[in-house]
Amino acid sequence: MSDFDTEIDTSGLNCPLPVLKARKTLNDMSPNQRLRLICTDSGALKDIPAFCKMTGNVLLSSEEVDGKLHFIIEKGA
């Protein structure tokens, strides 16, 4: 069983597209569901935590896997 409900891969896209795609996807999700966001834009290291803080979503984890950034975001209430 995976630790996320939905995944989007924004590899190759630069700011602000990963944040915008995450926002759109999270808007269609239910509270407490989890999104795995995959990015290659290094700006996401600052942008995604700031986005989560501003929108009331919870950044559960961030890690680099095979040169890509993986974020697990839990939709807030």
**In whole angstroms, what is the distance from residue 58 CA to residue 27 CA?**
14
Active site residue 15: yes
Residues 6+ apart with CB under 8 A from 73: 22, 26, 34, 35, 37, 48, 52, 57, 58, 59, 60
* Active-site choice (8, 13, 15, 58): 15
Catalytic residues: 15
